[in-house]
Amino acid sequence: MSTQDAFDVDPWGVVEHGLDLSGLARAESVFALSNGHIGLRANLDEGEPHGLPGTYLNGVFELRPLPYAESGYGYPESGQSVINVTNGKIIRLLVDDEPFDLRYGVLRSHQRRLDFRDGLLRREAEWTSPAGRTVRVSSARLVSLTQRAIAAVDYTVEAVDGPVRIVLQSELVANEQLPDGERDPRAAAVLEAPLLPEAHEASGTKAVLVNRTRYSGLRVAAGMDHLIEGPDRFEATAESSEQQCRISVTTVLRPGERLRMVKFMAYGWSATRSLPAVRDQVEAALTAARYTGWNGLVAEQKGFLADFWAGSDVEVEGDVELQQAVRFALFHVLQAGARSEERAIPAKGLTGPGYDGHSFWDTETFVLPVLTYCLPAAVDQALRWRHATLPMARERAAQLGLAGAVFPWRTIHGEECSGYWPAGTAAFHIGADIAAAVVRYVHATGDVEFERAWGLELLVETARMWRSLGHHDAVGRFRIEGVTGPDEYSAVADNNVFTNLMAQANLLAAAEAATRHPQEAAGLGVDTEEAAAWRDAAAAMFIPYDENLGVHPQADGFTDHQLWDFERTPADNYPLLLHYPYFDLYRKQVVKQADLVLAMQVRGDAFTDEQKARNFAYYERLTVRDSSLSACTQAVIAAEVGQLDLAYDYTAEAALMDLHDLGGNTGDGLHMASLAGACIAVVAGFGGLRDRQGKLSFRPRLPSGLRRLAFALKVRDALLRVEITHAVTTYTLRRGKVLTVLHDGEALTVESGVPVERPTTAVEAPAERCVQPPGREPARRHAQAGVHAPAPPPVEHLQAE
């Protein structure tokens, strides 16, 4: 089975027929369920066989050593890794004393389906044991989007061809054995059994297990309770130990009879609360879930998702595979942020342990722009988490001799966890990315109270960092030197255009927010002189430009570097960072991921249309896309400069990154930024959405492969729906009274109940399609056939840690 054939194409779900043992890890990520607080990989109910077991709680991590060949000032001393907490998914089945293990006997049928409309993962299987007894097993699993601490499973076994003795063992298991994937034995030793036992109890149908992490000192409680339905006579027993709790149910089923077990799971954790408090929290959540019941939880889930899709669906007509992929992306982005509640949104969400569960700039630059217009409350919570980490960011800035706050390149709790300076600490743009997310959220929601209480301080402290990091040169230009932009193949460079433009916006936003909230700004120590210094730095920001080539160098002098020898680079040598020394990459013209092109997306006001076209063409031939963060950005600008078919190719690559496992690493978790980026590619690329200072503008344009595109945006108190065909674009206000938008530069006033139509501009395709490095072209998209060939493997962030 190829990665493209693994799942059916379905516009509202993902369906897997059969069971590919070699692809278990990939499927466990694709079918993962989460609410931003709890994450359950889609391991089989019985626990085995598995690709990579995983149950995660957002913010629960263990400390581990960061090894260095040579120590250096400012290097972080320890890292943080997400851990596999107590596994409550397991329901083992024994059929006449034989384990229901799909590696043995005869698996007559097996199907799993994830439905985006109700958030349930359903499974149907028929299996004949080695002894010849056949049973049917069906299950449904959810992680509640309405009751944050709760997950549940509805598990049923039916006898088919004769009486069978059935035993169900429902378990909580701490420190379950994981595959050996850790290269550093010191870290492996720390993470092998991170949970220390504190309490365990089981009685009746209920059990609770409480543990504490060894080094990070986090207390984790997991509980389970059950409803059991079956023949008149069955027995249930309960037992517990330090690492395991088990509720066992046994009965005899005649053909056609069923034994049903509904399992409620609850999770809670704290760094400060006592053992009784955390245990009681979990037991209370179980009580509430049992009161709601399985049907009640399903109804709540359907209601939550119905509201979400009613206001946030993206409809793509003409390419059903892309439609599926975009809804898949939206569903998982929703899962990642729905109930994160002042915790980070990791690069893999809670779908796997990739990148140690860390959050990067991916969140603010790719994920939060999507959530801002479909689930703004999640953005509020994500930015409050950043605000909560300000004390650590201030300490980091002081350690580096800077003012304000330096936010970490990668982290879970708030401390810097990147041990590789050029692509870690030197990527100071994370501060401006956070500031941009604050500004976007406030403009989109009108949440003045958030800006006053949390946003202002984030803007002020990041502006202070930029003012101390940069300097005015002899001719008055404000320069920011020795930094790394989004492209990790060009590290520690001077005046990276993306960084400087983002810093410029950050400085101005801080000055303007301080003017709007003078009392709060004064409380932060901001005076008119400091705000004026920010404005001066922004006005004098140096943006390099190569007059000879007529393009912007990615950073000062970049276009003077030697070109990478793409012709002599074997296809097997990509990703380049795994086959060439960094020093060689850093001094050549080769781009890992969109950098200058991303600057044109987020600060399009700083470039003319002609500059955008020339810049895009120049960097296309240098960009190798060794990162999944690149295709979506290239899609947006390709659409803007008229390369619509190329934009279509890039959009599909971003959207299918995980469904087709294009990078070969979906097994350790989904690529949240690429998933969010696919939504951005569609809405900002083909819809032409830009949000400048709270003013929405659209430049709609569709590639030949699509017939219609429709999407909705939540903007303050309004819900705007945009529908685009090749002939006409229609703006409809579904909620709210009036909203002003721009359509191809024309101001439109959209009133409730009065759709406004305008012609969709026909874009004349450029004479030539932009050229990429040999062998790094995106696969051509053939919509009707649903064909998209695999792309080169990406490596998102440098793996030097």
| Residues tagged active-site | 488
Name the residue with tokens 């250096």.
72
What's CA 411's distance to the chain center, in Å?
A: 14
Taking a C-beta distance cutoff of 8 angstroms, is the pair 231, 252 a contact?
A: yes
Residue 615: phi and psi, rounded to 5, are -60, -45
Instruction: Tell me the CA end-to-end span of the chain in Å, nearest whole number.
Output: 34
Longest CA–CA span in the chain (Å) reads 90
How many Cβ atoms sit within 10 Å of the Cβ of residue 704? 12
Name the residue with tokens 């493997």.
793
Q: Which two tokens stand for residue 17?
A: 């027929």
Angle made by CA atoms 531, 533, 539, in degrees to the nearest 5: 105
One-letter amino acid for residue 168 of the chain: L
Taking a C-beta distance cutoff of 8 angstroms, is the pair 221, 269 a contact?
A: yes
Residue 240: phi and psi, rounded to 5, are -150, 155
Polymer length of the chain? 801
Burial 192-230 (b: 16+ CB within 10 A, else e): eebbeebbbebeebbbbbbbbbeebebbbbbbbbbebeb
Q: Which two tokens stand for residue 490?
A: 């060009």
Name the residue with tokens 């991303």.
598
Taking a C-beta distance cutoff of 8 angstroms, is the pair 299, 305 a contact?
A: no
Burial 237-265 (b: 16+ CB within 10 A, else e): ebebeebbbbbbbbbbbeeebbbbbbbbb
What gap in Å lies between CA 132 and CA 610, rounded to an integer? 72
What is the 8-class DSSP label of residue 493? B
What gap in Å lies between CA 755 and CA 751, rounded to an integer? 7
